[in-house]
Amino acid sequence: MQKKVSRHLAQRGGGWTTLEEPFDARKVLPEAQPKDVLLMDCATMWLTNHLLADHDLQQQTEALLSGFDNCAADIVVVTNETGLGIVPENALARRFREAQGRLNIALAARADCVVMVAAGLPMVLKGAL
Protein backbone atom coordinates (compact mmCIF):
# COMPACT_ATOMS: atom_id res chain seq x y z
CA MET A 1 0.00 0.00 0.00
CA GLN A 2 2.86 2.39 0.80
CA LYS A 3 4.28 1.87 -2.71
CA LYS A 4 0.89 2.69 -4.20
CA VAL A 5 0.61 5.86 -2.12
CA SER A 6 4.14 6.91 -3.06
CA ARG A 7 3.37 6.35 -6.74
CA HIS A 8 0.20 8.46 -6.50
CA LEU A 9 2.08 11.27 -4.74
CA ALA A 10 4.79 11.23 -7.42
CA GLN A 11 2.20 11.29 -10.22
CA ARG A 12 0.44 14.28 -8.68
CA GLY A 13 3.61 16.36 -8.56
CA GLY A 14 4.68 19.13 -6.22
CA GLY A 15 1.64 21.36 -6.72
CA TRP A 16 -0.44 19.31 -4.29
CA THR A 17 -0.57 19.51 -0.53
CA THR A 18 -1.23 16.06 0.89
CA LEU A 19 -2.81 15.51 4.28
CA GLU A 20 -3.19 12.03 5.67
CA GLU A 21 -6.32 11.90 7.81
CA PRO A 22 -7.73 8.41 8.32
CA PHE A 23 -10.81 9.45 10.32
CA ASP A 24 -11.63 13.16 10.40
CA ALA A 25 -11.43 14.38 6.82
CA ARG A 26 -13.39 17.47 7.90
CA LYS A 27 -10.34 18.98 9.63
CA VAL A 28 -9.17 20.83 6.52
CA LEU A 29 -12.59 21.95 5.28
CA PRO A 30 -13.01 25.15 7.34
CA GLU A 31 -9.63 26.42 6.11
CA ALA A 32 -10.43 25.91 2.42
CA GLN A 33 -10.93 28.98 0.25
CA PRO A 34 -13.37 29.34 -2.69
CA LYS A 35 -10.44 29.14 -5.15
CA ASP A 36 -9.23 25.82 -3.70
CA VAL A 37 -9.97 22.36 -5.02
CA LEU A 38 -9.84 19.54 -2.48
CA LEU A 39 -9.38 15.89 -3.42
CA MET A 40 -10.55 13.18 -1.05
CA ASP A 41 -8.81 10.02 -2.15
CA CYS A 42 -10.67 8.03 -1.15
CA ALA A 43 -14.06 7.78 0.54
CA THR A 44 -13.86 4.00 0.48
CA MET A 45 -10.71 3.94 2.62
CA TRP A 46 -12.24 6.54 4.94
CA LEU A 47 -15.32 4.33 5.37
CA THR A 48 -13.18 1.22 5.87
CA ASN A 49 -11.22 2.95 8.63
CA HIS A 50 -14.42 3.85 10.47
CA LEU A 51 -15.98 0.42 9.96
CA LEU A 52 -12.94 -1.41 11.31
CA ALA A 53 -12.74 0.98 14.28
CA ASP A 54 -16.40 0.15 14.98
CA HIS A 55 -17.46 3.80 14.78
CA ASP A 56 -21.06 4.84 14.16
CA LEU A 57 -21.04 4.97 10.35
CA GLN A 58 -24.21 6.99 10.02
CA GLN A 59 -22.95 9.62 12.47
CA GLN A 60 -19.54 9.81 10.78
CA THR A 61 -21.11 10.06 7.33
CA GLU A 62 -23.49 12.82 8.42
CA ALA A 63 -20.61 14.76 9.94
CA LEU A 64 -18.51 14.43 6.79
CA LEU A 65 -21.37 15.45 4.50
CA SER A 66 -22.19 18.42 6.73
CA GLY A 67 -18.56 19.48 6.47
CA PHE A 68 -18.74 19.20 2.68
CA ASP A 69 -21.96 21.24 2.61
CA ASN A 70 -20.30 24.06 4.57
CA CYS A 71 -16.99 24.06 2.67
CA ALA A 72 -16.17 27.05 0.45
CA ALA A 73 -13.94 25.03 -1.90
CA ASP A 74 -14.80 22.62 -4.67
CA ILE A 75 -14.37 19.02 -3.54
CA VAL A 76 -13.60 16.01 -5.71
CA VAL A 77 -14.27 12.68 -4.03
CA VAL A 78 -12.86 9.38 -5.27
CA THR A 79 -14.89 6.37 -4.20
CA ASN A 80 -15.41 2.77 -5.24
CA GLU A 81 -18.57 1.12 -6.50
CA THR A 82 -18.85 -2.12 -4.54
CA GLY A 83 -22.36 -3.24 -5.44
CA LEU A 84 -21.77 -4.52 -8.96
CA GLY A 85 -20.38 -7.91 -7.99
CA ILE A 86 -21.72 -10.89 -6.15
CA VAL A 87 -23.04 -10.57 -2.62
CA PRO A 88 -20.20 -11.36 -0.21
CA GLU A 89 -20.51 -14.47 1.91
CA ASN A 90 -19.40 -12.93 5.21
CA ALA A 91 -21.26 -10.44 7.39
CA LEU A 92 -18.48 -7.83 7.61
CA ALA A 93 -18.11 -7.66 3.83
CA ARG A 94 -21.87 -7.38 3.39
CA ARG A 95 -22.02 -4.61 6.00
CA PHE A 96 -19.20 -2.77 4.23
CA ARG A 97 -20.80 -3.15 0.80
CA GLU A 98 -24.12 -1.82 2.10
CA ALA A 99 -22.46 1.10 3.91
CA GLN A 100 -20.39 1.97 0.84
CA GLY A 101 -23.52 2.00 -1.29
CA ARG A 102 -25.29 4.31 1.14
CA LEU A 103 -22.26 6.61 1.27
CA ASN A 104 -22.02 6.72 -2.54
CA ILE A 105 -25.73 7.55 -2.84
CA ALA A 106 -25.36 10.40 -0.34
CA LEU A 107 -22.26 11.75 -2.09
CA ALA A 108 -23.90 11.55 -5.53
CA ALA A 109 -27.02 13.33 -4.27
CA ARG A 110 -24.91 16.33 -3.24
CA ALA A 111 -22.59 16.32 -6.23
CA ASP A 112 -22.92 18.56 -9.26
CA CYS A 113 -21.16 15.95 -11.37
CA VAL A 114 -20.76 12.19 -10.96
CA VAL A 115 -18.40 10.26 -13.22
CA MET A 116 -17.96 6.50 -13.09
CA VAL A 117 -14.77 5.13 -14.59
CA ALA A 118 -14.77 1.54 -15.84
CA ALA A 119 -11.94 0.03 -17.87
CA GLY A 120 -10.37 3.49 -17.96
CA LEU A 121 -13.43 4.99 -19.66
CA PRO A 122 -15.31 7.83 -17.94
CA MET A 123 -19.09 7.66 -17.99
CA VAL A 124 -20.93 10.77 -16.82
CA LEU A 125 -23.83 9.70 -14.61
CA LYS A 126 -24.84 13.17 -13.47
CA GLY A 127 -24.03 16.70 -14.66
CA ALA A 128 -21.31 17.48 -17.17
CA LEU A 129 -17.54 17.44 -17.17
Residues tagged active-site: 8
Neighbours of 40 (CB within 10 A): 18
Cβ distance 39 to 46 under 8 Å?
A: no
Select from 43, 45, 36 the least CA-distant residue to 16: 36
Please give the distance of CA 62 from its chain centroid, rounded to a whole number: 13
